Chains A and B, each alone.
Chain A
Amino acid sequence: SQKIEQNSEALNIQEGKTATLTCNYTNYSPAYLQWYRQDPGRGPVFLLLIRENEKEKRKERLKVTFDTTLKQSLFHITASQPADSATYLCALSASGGSYIPTFGRGTSLIVHP
């Protein structure tokens, strides 16, 4: 069966360090993968999208990599700030179908000042 896995344990880091979050998947032929941010009591907000033929995408302090051989995406936040504390969700859209994304359960990031 298709699975998307994100680390269920919260990631605690110090301000200024780089946070790296992982999204692994199985039994998918991906078209693209997205990362969303969700703050408590709010809906998810889109951050970045990377396609299956792309290796890396950047946006300001954010970087996403996509390795379809390893079936893994890494999401990096450089020079992290307490305001980056949130839950980060990855969402995978499979090729050959409706492209409706399937979401991972999310990883909580806590940046300590």
Chain B
Amino acid sequence: NAGVTQTPKFRVLKTGQSMTLLCAQDMNHEYMYWYRQDPGMGLRLIHYSVGEGTTAKGEVPDGYNVSRLKKQNFLLGLESAAPSQTSVYFCASNQGETQYFGPGTRLLVL
């Protein structure tokens, strides 16, 4: 039981490049989330999903897109990366009240 896994662990992008962050969970959870964490800002919700095929915007959705084609996977896309998207990205999932987090993806946009 791996819990929540994230791929990749670390990535460097140039401004304007695109990429997809993958989150996978093996706990059969309905809810999945993408957060970004910046120094002094705490965890901020980007997008979330309440089930397969559904997505919704969080607090800071601009510049990101998501897809939940399979229940176990939640993808976060950056179509045209900007330096302001340099951050650590965390995926989380839950069925009840408690969230289970992945190990994070550190993204640097130059």
Contact = CB atoms under 8 A, between A and B. Distances in A.
A43 B103 contact: yes
Interface size class of A (residues with CB under 8 A): 20 to 34
B101 A45 contact: yes
Given A100-B33, A100-B45, A100-B48, A44 B40 contact: no
Nearest to B98: A46
A41 B106 CA distance: 9
Given A32-B97, A101-B99, A44 B45 contact: no
Interface string A92-113: 0100001111111110000000
A104 B42 contact: yes
B69 to A, nearest CB: 21
Interface residues of B, number: 21
A69 interface: no
Interface string B84-110: 000000101000011111111000000
Interface in B1-58: 4, 33, 35, 40-43, 45, 48, 50, 58
Contact of A8 (B33, B40, B97): B40
A49 B98 CA distance: 8
Interface of B: 4, 33, 35, 40-43, 45, 48, 50, 58, 90, 92, 97-104
Given A8-B40, A49-B97, 19 more contacts: A34-B98, A41-B104, A42-B104, A43-B92, A43-B104, A44-B43, A44-B90, A44-B101, A46-B99, A49-B98, A89-B43, A98-B50, A100-B33, A100-B45, A101-B99, A103-B43, A104-B42, A105-B42, A106-B42
18 contacts: A8-B40, A34-B97, A34-B98, A36-B99, A41-B104, A42-B103, A43-B101, A43-B104, A44-B43, A46-B98, A49-B97, A89-B42, A89-B43, A99-B97, A100-B33, A101-B99, A105-B40, A105-B42
Interface of A: 8, 32, 34, 36, 41-46, 49, 89, 91, 93, 98-106
